[in-house]
Amino acid sequence: MTKYGKITTVLLTVWFAAVFSTSAVHLFKNGSAQFGLGVAVAALAPMIVFSLWFAASEGFRNFALSLNPTILTSVQVWRIVGFTFLLLQARNVLPAIFALPAGYGDMFIGATAGFAAWKLAEPAHRNGFLFWQALGILDLITAVSLGTTAGLIDPRGPSMGPMTVLPLSLIPTFFVPLFVMLHMICIAQAWSWKSASQVRRQTAGALQHPAI
């Protein structure tokens, strides 16, 4: 394992332990109809740190870009558990304005992650891969936005409080930012790929003008 691989593993472990222990002592707990400031900070801080590290460190950036996009995309299969939101909404535990879009969106991404990983994660399908990754980020942004504003949109609906205590609190504080980071890495990788048409043009040009 490379130096950056070891550092990343340690940071992921420390991050998970931190949000788990914080949730265990109910520091994220919020009885209102929205996520709350603590959850928002816990979700945004890792993504900001990742973005700055990726932009500032060539070594870390090269490490991230060297990761297998098929494996990174396959991890998103776990989002199929979004059906949990639908079950909780059916029991009136979570507001429908949040649970339905978040649940169906996650289920769609989770159900199609295998196809995206094994069929789209290559230069020949660059545009399709980028589109799927963008859909994955859009789903997460939509879920967080609705979770934050659920109380304003539907003040008489159930509280978002269950999302601020274990085990659900791990979703906005750990898994959502982690999935966003994986999407960002895959997009950065695919952005540098040459499309199939570009490869064909370059190949044709090389055949027409062979090196002397």
Lowest mean pLDDT among 9-23, 38-52, 89-103, 146-160: 146-160
Task: Decide if pLDDT at 199 tops 90.
Answer: no
Average pLDDT of 5-33?
91
Q: How confident is the model at residue 188 (pLDDT cuts 50, 70, 90)?
A: very high
Q: Is 166 exposed, middle or buried (0-12, 13-18, 19+ CB in 10 A)?
A: middle
Length of the chain: 212
More confidently predicted of 91 and 33: 91
Q: How confident is the model at residue 148 (pLDDT cuts 50, 70, 90)?
A: confident
The whole-model pTM stands at: 0.89
Non-local CB neighbours of 205 within 8 Å, separated by 6+ positions = none
- The per-residue DSSP string of 1-59 comes to --HHHHHHHHHHHHHHHHHHHHHHTTSS---SSS--HHHHHHHHHHHHHHHHHHHH-HH
Residue 37 corresponds to which tokens in the numbers above?
A: 């400031």
Residue 100 corresponds to which tokens in the numbers above?
A: 């339905």
Q: What percent of the chain has pLDDT over 70?
A: 89
Quote the CA–CA distance of 161 and 157 in Å, as a whole number: 12
Task: Decide if pLDDT at 66 tops 60.
Answer: yes
b/e string for 88-115 if b means 16 or more Cβ within 10 A? bbeeebbbbbbbebbbebbbbbbebbee
Task: Decide if pLDDT at 191 tops 70.
Answer: yes
